[in-house]
């Protein structure tokens, strides 16, 4: 094994120094406890794992190397070093020159192997002396380092060596996601969440390999994104929220910072401007948008389905053109979400006319349109994407149009549904969704052909939550299960096995100060937060 390592390293570096230190390392090898990779609490579960029942000793003599010429790999290596430092306090050098003290290496390797099929695929070879992470792209390497982070134990093992070591179970992991779209949605319109809150959510999601964050940026109760050509949207439309608190909005600089932070984690931001319904905040700001001739008032309640744009006015489309243009210019990802749900006071023909027109605007700015499942009633083309949340009839229409479908069935995947009848936060109009129900379904079971399924997204509507603790309470732990539903194959998913791995997430969630719901279905490894701390009386 050590020979293979040396050959691989010298292939990429002229670092005879490392080869020497690896040979020296044989002398210094620390006796390792046998650790079993197949028992590691990885979520989402990788495609294939082959344990070799030994361990890599992560310690102060470990270094990370990457090929400097491979785009993005060095940044991924630094990201790993930062996270390992936060977990272990070890200062692990990246592409350092001083190899005299290095005994073991983590090598993040750009590989063109055909076995690495897909941008997010990676292979991990964990030996006693080395960890080799192979990926075709930096994105694949980024997914791979999440697996490695999860394999590093939370506590060091101080009994085997003079210095602290963190034994990483040895073996081989071959991994690739089942679906390329693995997302969550955050409703920042009903209640506003700060840039810092969104960044924390992004950090947590990316640890579980979720690669999409859909931001619901406008609704009846609030408009949350600065549009320079229409400033009253945020001045007026952003001034309140459900319950009449102060509201808020992202400046364009804030939004760009969220996009940048997500991109650093290989996560795509999808902006949603919900229309023609769910538009009261826009119409309060600019009353000409409203089809009923009345000047609406700011709305702080929770009703839906009462607002609409005037779908037959050219000035409405000039407005939408500006909004889509300004947001698209700040959004490197390929998608723009136009909402399209619950437009109960828009006539059917007007709705179809509207969605058709908006699709053309979205395409003009180089984006692919996504809309809630109702949009399949319009004459849109197969490049647009339907987000299925409620109507099986609409899902069938989307498939007939050969559209891709994102699965967000409200009865299974809505993060704002209450866990049970005791939950104070959340709603239950679709269902109560305990942690097992959230996990035990398959994207394939809804009769939508596999080739039409883009992936899974778990939306978190925010009518009943107004701060990060409450957000975390509804999202965690269920979002962790949705990550496995969208990454792992159905053969690799099993509730009894999953709930043991989920219990082991408690130390990570605690370290990240996540106020998760400590579901009684799970035998949590440890839990700092009691059920009561977050419940509202
Ligand atoms: C929705 O829940 N109105 C998409």
pLDDT of residue 79: 98
Residue 355's SS3 state is helix
Closest CA to 147 of 78, 213, 207: 207
Q: What is the pLDDT along the chain (537 residues), one digit of tens a residue?
A: 333 433 344 344 433 334 334 444 444 555 666 689 999 999 999 999 999 999 999 999 999 999 989 999 999 999 999 999 999 999 999 999 877 789 999 999 999 987 888 999 999 999 999 999 999 999 999 999 999 999 999 988 876 666 899 999 999 999 999 999 999 999 999 999 999 999 999 999 999 999 999 999 999 999 999 999 999 999 999 999 999 878 999 999 999 999 999 999 999 999 999 999 999 999 999 999 997 788 899 999 999 999 999 999 999 999 999 999 999 999 999 999 999 999 999 999 999 999 999 999 999 999 999 999 999 999 999 999 999 999 999 999 999 999 999 999 999 999 999 999 999 899 999 999 999 999 999 988 999 999 999 999 999 999 999 999 999 999 999 999 999 999 999 999 999 999 999 999 999 999 999 999 999 999 998 755 444 344 433
Please identify, among 175, 192, 212, the residue that sits at the C-terminal boundary of a domain.
Answer: 175
pLDDT of residue 485: 97
What is residue 29's predicted lDDT score, i.e. its pLDDT? 56
- Residue nearest to ligand 1 atom 2, measured at CA: 389
One domain, residues 146 and 264 = no
Closest Cα to atom 3 of ligand 1: 341
Do 142 and 190 fall into the same domain? no
Q: Which residues line the pocket of ligand 1, CB cutoff 6 A?
A: 341-342, 372, 389
pLDDT of residue 28: 53
Q: How far, in Å, from the CA of 203 to the mean position of ligand 1?
A: 25
**1 C-alpha to ligand 1 centroid (Å):** 54
* Single residue among 147, 175, 203 that ends a domain in this structure: 175
Give the tokens for residue 247: 């509201």
Cα gap 138→75, rounded to integer Å: 9
366 and 325 within one domain: yes
Q: Give distance in angstroms: CA of 486 to centre of ligand 1.
A: 20
Beta-bridge mates of residue 165: 157
CA 63 to chain centre: 29
Q: What is the number of the ligand 1 atom nearest to the C-alpha of 278?
A: 3
Whether 164 and 38 share a structural domain: yes
417: its two tokens? 């549904």
Please indicate, yes or no, if residue 98 is contained in any of the structural domains.
Answer: yes
CATH, residue 32: 3.30.379.10
Are 45 and 167 members of one domain?
yes
Q: Are residues 105 and 162 in the same domain?
A: yes
CA 459–ligand 1 middle distance (angstroms): 9
Residue 84 domain flag: yes
Total domains, the chain: 2
Can you give the residue range of the structural domain that contains 229? 183-383+414-493
* Closest of 142, 77, 85, 79 to residue 105, by C-alpha: 77
| d(CA 70, ligand 1 centre) in Å | 42
* 253 carries an active-site annotation: no
Q: CATH no. for residue 223?
A: 3.20.20.80
* 299 and 358 co-located in one domain: yes
Q: Give the pLDDT confidence score for residue 10 in this predicted structure.
A: 38
List 257, 264, 342, 535, catalytic entry: 342
Which pLDDT score, from 0 to 100, does residue 35 have? 83
> Are residues 217 and 69 both part of a single domain?
no
| 206 and 310 assigned to the same domain | yes
Ligand 1, atom nearest to 372 Cα: 4
Q: What is the pLDDT of residue 473?
A: 98
Same domain, 165 and 193: no
Whether 79 maps to a domain, the answer reads: yes
Q: Name the CA dihedral angle for 97, 99, 101, 102, rounded to a multiple of 10 degrees.
A: 120
> Are residues 17 and 88 located together in one domain of the fold?
yes
Domain assignment present for residue 345? The answer is: yes
State whether the Cα torsion 185-271-191-341 is positive or negative: negative
The whole-number pLDDT of residue 69 equals: 92
Question: Is 194 found in the same domain as 135?
Answer: no
| Residue 112 placed within a domain | yes
Domain stops at, among 156, 175, 194: 175
| Among 442, 418, 436, residue whose Cα is nearest residue 428 | 418
pLDDT for 27 equals 40
Tell me if 532 is assigned to some domain. Answer: no
Please report whether residue 238 resides in a domain. yes
Residues ≥6 apart with Cβ < 8 Å to 132: 5, 8, 107, 109, 123, 124, 125
Torsion of CA 470, 473, 476, 479, to 10 degrees: -60
Best of 273, 375, 390, 462 for a ligand 1 pocket test (most atoms within 8 Å of beta carbon): 390
Residue 526 lies in a domain: no
């Amino acid at each position: 094994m050590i020979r293979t390592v040396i050959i691989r390293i010298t292939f990429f570096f002229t670092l005879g120094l490392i080869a020497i230190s690896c040979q020296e390392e044989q002398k210094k090898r620390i006796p390792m406890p046998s650790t079993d990779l197949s028992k590691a609490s990885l979520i989402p579960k990788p495609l294939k794992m082959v344990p070799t029942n030994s361990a890599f000793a992560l310690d102060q003599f470990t270094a990370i190397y990457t090929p400097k010429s491979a785009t993005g790999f060095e940044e991924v290596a630094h990201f790993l070093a930062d996270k390992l430092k936060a977990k272990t306090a070890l200062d692990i050098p990246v592409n350092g020159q001083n190899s005299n003290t290095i005994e073991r290496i983590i090598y993040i390797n750009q590989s063109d192997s055909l076995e690495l099929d897909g941008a997010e695929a990676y292979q991990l070879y964990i030996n006693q002396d080395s960890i080799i992470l192979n990926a075709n792209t930096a994105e694949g390497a980024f997914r791979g380092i999440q697996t490695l982070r999860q394999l590093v134990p939370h506590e060091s093992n101080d009994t085997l060596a003079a210095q602290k070591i963190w034994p990483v179970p040895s073996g081989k992991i071959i991994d690739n996601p089942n679906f390329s779209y693995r997302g969550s949605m955050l409703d920042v319109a009903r209640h506003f969440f700060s840039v810092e809150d969104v960044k924390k959510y992004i950090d947590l999601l990316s640890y579980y390999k979720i690669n999409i964050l859909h931001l619901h940026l406008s609704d009846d109760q609030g408009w949350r994104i600065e549009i320079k050509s229409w400033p009253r949207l945020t001045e007026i439309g952003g001034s309140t929220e459900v319950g009449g608190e102060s509201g808020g909005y992202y400046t364009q600089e804030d939004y760009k910072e969220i996009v940048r932070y997500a991109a650093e984690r290989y996560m795509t931001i999808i902006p949603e401007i919900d229309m023609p319904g769910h538009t009261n905040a826009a119409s309060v700001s600019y009353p000409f948008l409203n089809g009923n001739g009345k000047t609406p008032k700011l709305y702080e309640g929770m009703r839906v389905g009462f607002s609409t744009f005037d779908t037959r006015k050219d000035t409405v489309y000039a407005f939408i053109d500006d909004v889509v243009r300004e947001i698209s210019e700040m959004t490197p990802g390929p998608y723009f979400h136009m909402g399209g749900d619950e437009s109960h006071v828009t006539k059917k023909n007007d709705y179809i006319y509207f969605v058709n027109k908006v699709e053309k605007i979205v395409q003009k700015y180089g984006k692919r349109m996504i809309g809630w499942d109702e949009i399949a009633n319009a004459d849109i083309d197969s490049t647009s994407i339907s987000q299925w949340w409620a109507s099986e009839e609409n899902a069938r229409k989307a498939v007939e149009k050969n559209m891709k479908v994102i699965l967000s069935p409200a009865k299974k995947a809505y993060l704002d549904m209450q866990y049970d009848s005791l939950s104070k936060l959340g709603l239950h109009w679709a269902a109560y969704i305990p942690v097992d129900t959230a996990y035990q379904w398959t994207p394939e079971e809804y009769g939508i052909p596999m080739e039409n399924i883009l992936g899974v997204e778990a939306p978190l509507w925010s009518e009943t939550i107004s701060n990060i603790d409450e957000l975390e309470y509804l999202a965690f732990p269920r979002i962790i299960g949705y990550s496995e539903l969208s990454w792992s194959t159905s053969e690799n998913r099993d509730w009894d096995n999953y709930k043991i791995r989920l219990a082991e997430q408690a130390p990570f969630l605690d370290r990240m100060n996540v106020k998760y719901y400590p579901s009684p279905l799970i035998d949590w490894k440890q839990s700092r937060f009691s059920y009561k701390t977050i419940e509202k009386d």
